[in-house]
Chains A and B, each alone.
Chain A
Amino acid sequence: MAKNQRDKDVETTESTGLSRRGFLTRVGVGAVSVAAAKSATAQPTSRAQALPATELSRITLNINGRQRQVLVEPRWTLSHVLREELGLTGTKVGCDRGECGACTILMNGVPRYSCLTLAVEAEGVEIVTVEGLMDRENLGPTQEAFLTEDAFQCGYCTSGQIMAVEGLVRNNPDPSVDDIRTGVSGNLCRCGAYAHIFAAAQRAAAERQGVGGES
């Protein structure tokens, strides 16, 4: 609840420039935090930017086409901020150390592990999460391909698999089976749905090329 409240406050700050939390932050920790928040949101200048260790600093993240302001500690990973601060829980955390792939998102169009990326490092980067593949209320083509090919069992790895495939087909419109294996090699599926995942990847590529996915 505290987190939802914080999120709301950030949005409020955006619109009115004056929220209760923003006010408390400024009064409570004083000039240091104001300076930090300023430096974090400022455009790159010739001076090094620094964020303090134990305080929240405001950063702006470009997520699914929207600029989102969020208060973060430097040590928070992007997966944490997406899920716990912004409520984008489509991104899953499995191993939390860059081995399983459940947390895969796109950064500037290529798949990366959001658990191995600090949120502060993602400023200025175009981030796409599985939520960002939706076409309003409808599934996007890659998501639809996973559904059609029944490319999951428990579903926990699925959003990461979908993002890895999305990254693959964006950069390689006609992937071979080997390309697909390489493309999703950073995503583990403990249910073992790999055969269907490969089929879904082929279908996603075909859909993208507009040939209807008869693979």
Chain B
Amino acid sequence: MYISDFRYHRPQTLAEAVALLETSRDGVLLAGGTDLLVDLKQGKRFHEDVISLTRIEELHSIELHGDSLVIGAAVTHNQLIHSPLIRQSCFAISEAAATIGTEQIRNTATVGGNLCTAASCADTAPILIALEARVELIGGRGRRTLALANLFVDHRRTALEKCEILSRIIVPVPPAGTGAAFEKFGLRQAANISVASVAVMVRVVDQRCERASFVMGAVAPTPRISGKAAGLVEGRPVSQVSEGSELLERVARAVADDAAPLDDIRGSAAFRREVTATLARRAFEKALSRAVTGVAEGQAGR
């Protein structure tokens, strides 16, 4: 399969990359390329200029800046999975990254690419939104940051302006007493596209759920936050929302009610809604247990 001709650019800095985007008629950024190259090969899209992000160093690091984890947009999924910094402070991000693609894809595809492609089934988005991540966008007029939840406008549409680049993802390190988890359902174990997914974050202070966040993937054009479910949980004692409780069932239903799923080849809307409720319950139980014990099982793993 041949790819149509393009000029290849390899900027060394973000400013150079932005300048290239500004001067090109239809420039496109190449990060991992696992989506872009397939589209180019299949003739779904054509670009005169392809701008590679491989040599822009700041896009490839994972660092702790004060109370925030700063993840470069070109960090690969396997880097997310194996980063000691992420495993310690936000294990659920590693957990979500591990559910994506195959080993080869996880060694290639980037978190910024996953977010900017903005497929409704993107698996890094729900957990990052649940953890209240922000994204830094760089364009000709400088830098701005945006709550990640506001990056997504529609299926495959983002709030990025034409010549803007998503440079970093900034995740506030959750304070002690916070637990998070990601649950996904797909039709198989590998190269597995989400039928539905749910990320949950819950913060427990004095045996009470002080704050909670429920974010769904693949059941709406964009990642979807369930405000209703968070409202049911916040302020409640842990004992009221524990496993098997009636309230937990209501929470799971509330998440499913906030979904806006479609019928497609991977599942009907009704099925997706049911799966969403189950995933929400599982993810909440797991997140709550992590919040209470302070440990995520598997966290110490490789």
CA distance A75 to B38 in the complex (A): 12
CA distance A183 to B33 in the complex (A): 21
Given contacts A49-B9, A51-B7, A74-B6, contact A96 B104 (CB under 8 A): no
Given contacts A49-B9, A53-B5, contact A185 B103 (CB under 8 A): yes
Q: What's the minimum C-beta distance from A142 to chain B, rounded to whole angstroms?
A: 15
Given contacts A47-B12, A96-B41, A97-B38, contact A75 B104 (CB under 8 A): no
Q: Is B147 an interface residue (CB 8 A)?
A: no
Among residues 70 to 89 in chain A, which have CB atoms less than 8 Å away from a CB atom of chain B?
73-77
Q: Is the CB–CB distance between B8 and A98 below 8 Å?
A: no
- Taking each of A96, A107, A113, which has the highest tally of chain B beta carbons within 10 Å of its own beta carbon? A113
Q: What's the tally of chain A residues with a CB closer than 8 Å to chain B?
A: 43
Q: Is the CB–CB distance between A186 and B2 below 8 Å?
A: no
Hey, which chain A residues are within 8 Å of B262, CB to CB?
none
Q: What's the tally of chain B residues with a CB closer than 8 Å to chain A?
A: 42
CA distance A73 to B41 in the complex (A): 15
CA distance A50 to B23 in the complex (A): 14
CA distance A127 to B162 in the complex (A): 35
Hey, which chain B residues are within 8 Å of A73, CB to CB?
5
Q: Is the CB–CB distance between A98 and B7 below 8 Å?
A: no
Q: Is A193 an interface residue (CB 8 A)?
A: no
- Taking each of A48, A74, A184, which has the highest tally of chain B beta carbons within 10 Å of its own beta carbon? A48
Q: Is the CB–CB distance between A48 and B54 below 8 Å?
A: no
Q: Is the CB–CB distance between A183 and B9 below 8 Å?
A: no
Q: Is the CB–CB distance between B37 and A118 below 8 Å?
A: yes
Q: Mark A80-110, 1 if CB is under 8 A from B, else 0.
A: 0000000000000000111101001001001
Among residues 155 to 199 in chain A, which have CB atoms less than 8 Å away from a CB atom of chain B?
164, 167-168, 172, 181-187
Residue of A97, A104, A181 near B41 (CB, 8 A) is: A97
Q: Is the CB–CB distance between A182 and B190 below 8 Å?
A: yes
Given contacts A116-B34, A117-B108, contact A164 B103 (CB under 8 A): yes
Q: What's the minimum C-beta distance from B6 to chain A, rounded to whole angstroms?
A: 6
Q: Is A210 an interface residue (CB 8 A)?
A: no
Q: What's the minimum C-beta distance from B186 to chain A, rounded to whole angstroms?
A: 13
Hey, which chain B residues are within 8 Å of A74, CB to CB?
5-8, 50
Q: Is the CB–CB distance between B10 and A75 below 8 Å?
A: no
Hey, which chain B residues are within 8 Å of A110, CB to CB?
78, 107
Hey, which chain A residues are within 8 Å of B4, CB to CB?
75
Q: Is the CB–CB distance between B9 and A104 below 8 Å?
A: no
Of all A-B residue pairs in the complex, the 5 with the closest CB atoms, nearest first, are A186-B102, A185-B190, A74-B8, A48-B11, A75-B3
List 6 interface pairs A-B (beta carbons < 8 Å), by A numbering.
Answer: A53-B48, A75-B5, A77-B37, A101-B104, A116-B108, A181-B189
Residues of B within 8 A of A (CB): 1-13, 16-17, 19-20, 30, 33-34, 37-38, 40-42, 48, 50, 52, 54-55, 78, 101-105, 107-108, 189-191, 302
Taking A74-B50, A186-B104 as given, write out 19 further A-B residue pairs in contact, using a Cβ cutoff of 8 Å, ordered by the A residue number: A45-B12, A48-B10, A48-B17, A53-B48, A74-B7, A74-B8, A110-B78, A111-B103, A111-B104, A112-B104, A116-B34, A118-B30, A118-B33, A167-B103, A181-B189, A183-B103, A185-B103, A186-B101, A186-B102
